[in-house]
């Protein structure tokens, strides 16, 4: 962890008319409340703060599993925030496969091992699976979990509405099947009290 990350991230935010007031009022990191920092921080800053509180202070039992889910979650968030064409990445391959996310998808979501092998190849499948697993581990509010389950079901319906269009495109068809399965299983798990 970079101890100067907070100071650098705040220094860059002071020039924006949207955040200047908060930076001027609470810009000294030594005197800034956490909720003010969260209003200003990038996703990387939020993850650094989370890592500090959870991992440095050892407040979480399965910290290593969550730690491995944070970077893919950040990658997916950044792609969405910058309007990346994520489905076009279904044909591309990960530079380095991460077996732990595949293993968690089998163990925690109950997804078939053959289908889950896609998480080792396609970045979008890998990162979306990591996001679902991360959300399930971190979010405890029943209302938030129920809302997320409904949103996943709605997204799954949209994904599968025209799945026949892709019947001749193997990678895309398989990737959509895996994403659909992750959405379905995660929604079921999030719906449980």
**What is the C-alpha separation between 114 and 148, in angstroms, rounded?**
26
Residue 37 has, within 13 A of its CA and on its CB side, a CA count of: 20
The single residue listed with the structure tokens 């996943």 is 152
In Å, what is the CA distance from 52 to each residue of 6, 38, 67, 84? Answer: 12, 14, 11, 30
Top-confidence residue, 132 or 159: 132
**What is the C-alpha separation between 118 and 107, in angstroms, rounded?**
15
52-108 pLDDT, tens digit per residue, is 766 666 655 556 677 788 888 888 887 887 777 777 766 667 766 566 888 888 999
Which pLDDT belongs to residue 148? 95
What token pair was written down for 193? 């009290």
Task: State the pTM of this model.
Answer: 0.74
96-115 pLDDT, tens digit per residue, is 656 688 888 899 999 888 88
Enter the DSSP assignment of 95. S
Question: Where are the strands (E) in 40-172, listed by range?
Answer: none
In Å, what is the CA distance from 6 to each residue of 60, 134, 174? Answer: 23, 24, 41
The single residue listed with the structure tokens 């209003």 is 39
Which pLDDT belongs to residue 66? 78
Closest CA to 124 of 94, 96, 99: 94
Top-confidence residue, 85 or 156: 156
The overall longest dimension of the chain from CA atoms, in Å, is 59
Torsion of CA 83, 89, 63, 44, to 10 degrees: -30
**What is the C-alpha separation between 183 and 55, in angstroms, rounded?**
28
What's the gap between Cα 133 and its chain centre? 8
């Amino acid at each position: 962890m970079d101890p100067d990350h907070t100071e650098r991230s705040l220094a860059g935010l002071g020039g924006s008319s949207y955040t200047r007031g908060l930076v001027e009022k609470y810009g000294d990191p030594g005197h800034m409340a956490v909720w003010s920092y969260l209003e200003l921080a990038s996703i990387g800053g939020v993850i650094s703060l989370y890592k500090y509180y959870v991992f440095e202070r050892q407040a979480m039992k399965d910290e290593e599993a969550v730690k491995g889910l944070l970077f893919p979650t950040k990658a997916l968030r950044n792609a969405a925030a910058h309007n990346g064409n994520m489905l076009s990445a279904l044909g591309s391959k990960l530079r380095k496969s991460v077996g732990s996310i595949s293993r968690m998808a089998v163990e925690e979501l109950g997804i078939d091992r053959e289908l889950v092998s896609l998480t080792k190849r396609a970045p979008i499948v890998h990162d979306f699976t990591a996001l679902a697993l991360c959300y399930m581990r971190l979010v405890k509010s029943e209302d938030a979990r129920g809302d997320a389950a409904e949103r996943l079901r709605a997204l799954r319906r949209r994904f599968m509405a025209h799945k026949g269009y892709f019947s001749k495109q193997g990678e895309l068809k398989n990737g959509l099947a895996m994403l659909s399965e992750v959405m379905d299983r995660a929604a079921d798990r999030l719906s449980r009290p």
